[in-house]
Amino acid sequence: MAQFSRTWWGQRFIAALEQFTDPARLGRGRSYASGGRILEYTLAKGTVAARVRGSINPYFGVYKEPIYRTTITIKAITAGDWTKVIRQIASRADLVTKLLMNEMPDTIEDAFSGLGLHLLPHSERDFETSCSCPDWANPCKHIAGVYYLLASALDQDPFVMFELRGLSRDDLHAELVRTPLGKILASALTSDDVPVEPVESYYTLPTKEPAAVVASHKEFWTGPKRLPAPLATASQAGVPALLIKKQGDYPPFWHKDVSFISVMEELYDRVRTKNRQMK
C-alpha cells in the first residue's frame, strides 16, 4: 500500500497512531486528507482545529454536503519538561545540525526518553478528539483525515510535532537561545519567503553588441587572447550527483515515494554513459 508520507518521521507518526487505533478506520481517512476535503485547519497550543467537508450519506439522513468541525488535542509536555528536553537536544551537535537542515533526527527520542518522556504519542490517553459528524466511530473518517494531513505537515516541518506537544514557536525560540548550540538553531528558524523569479526568455537571451569596435583583422579572426589551457580529464569519476546530495532527500517539490536522490543518480548516470555525445 502506498505510503502517504514519505519521510520516516511522518510515517512514524502514522505508525504510532496505528498502535492504538483501528488501522482500517485510519485508512479510510487517507482519501479525506487530499482532494480538498479539509477546507482549513489551525494549530494552536497543541490543538488542531479543522473544518472538514463530509459526504452525502442518506443512511445518516445527510442530504447535502455538510461541513464538520473536527478537533484533535494531544497531551502537552509541561513547560518545565520542555526546558529540560531542549537543553538535552542542544547538548548534541548531531541533533541540532539535523534540525538546522530541517530534518527530524532519527535519534530524537533519545533526548526525550532520558527524561521519561515521549515525543510521539504512544497511547490513547495522549489524544483527545472530537468531531461534529454523526459517525460515532473513533476515529471517524474526518479525524483520520486530519491525522494524515498532520503526517504530511510533519514531512515538511518537523517542528510541527513540537507544537503539537505544546511548545509554540516563540517558546521554542526562547528555550533554544539559552544554550550556545541552541542559539545557532534559533537563528535559522526564521525562514524567508523566496520570491518568484520571472524570466524573459527560456535561455539566456543572446544580445547584440552595439557598433562593436573590432581591434584588428587578426583579432577578429583569432581572438584577443590565446585559448585557456584545457583542463586535463580526471582519471577517476567524481561522486555522482554530489551537487544535489548536499540538500537532503525528498525535497518539498517531490511528491513521490521513491527517493529523489536515487532517481537523480540514475538520471546523471544515464546522461554520462548513454548519451552518445558524452561518450
Unique residue bearing C-alpha cell 528536553: 85
Which residue, 80 or 228, has its beta carbon nearer to another protein? 228
- Show contacts with another protein in window 200-229 (CB under 8 A): 201-212, 214, 216-228
Site string (45-64) toward another protein, x via CB under 8 A: --------------------
CA distance from start to end of the chain: 41
Which residue, 35 or 80, has its beta carbon nearer to another protein? 35
> Between helices 79-89 and 93-100, what is the axis angle to 10°?
100
Closest CB 109 distance from another protein, rounded Å: 14
88-118 b/e with 16+ CB inside 10 Å = b?
bbbebeebbebbeebbbbeebeebbeeeebe
| The binder of another protein chosen from 98, 115, 122, 129 (CB under 8 A) | 98
Dihedral sign (CA 163, 169, 170, 173): positive
How many CA within 13 A on the CB side of residue 190? 5
Which amino acid is present at 26? L
| The binder of another protein chosen from 94, 116, 136, 190 (CB under 8 A) | 94
- Show contacts with another protein in window 168-207 (CB under 8 A): 179-181, 184, 187-188, 193-194, 196-199, 201-207
Q: Determine the size of the site formed for another protein (CB under 8 A).
A: 86
| The binder of another protein chosen from 39, 93, 115, 137 (CB under 8 A) | 93
Distance of CA 17 to CAs 122, 188, 230, Å? 7, 31, 60
Q: By CB under 8 A, is residue 2 in contact with another protein?
A: no
Closest CB 176 distance from another protein, rounded Å: 13
Which residues touch 87 (CB under 8 Å, ≥6 apart)?
Answer: 175, 178, 179
- Show contacts with another protein in window 243-262 (CB under 8 A): 243-248, 251-256, 258
Which residue, 64 or 226, has its beta carbon nearer to another protein? 226
| The binder of another protein chosen from 47, 96, 135, 168 (CB under 8 A) | 96
Q: In the structure grid, which three cell numbers stand for residue 39, read together?
A: 477546507
Which residue, 137 or 258, has its beta carbon nearer to another protein? 258
Sheet strand arrangement including 38-44 = 38-44, 47-53, 67-74, 127-131
Closest CB 122 distance from another protein, rounded Å: 24
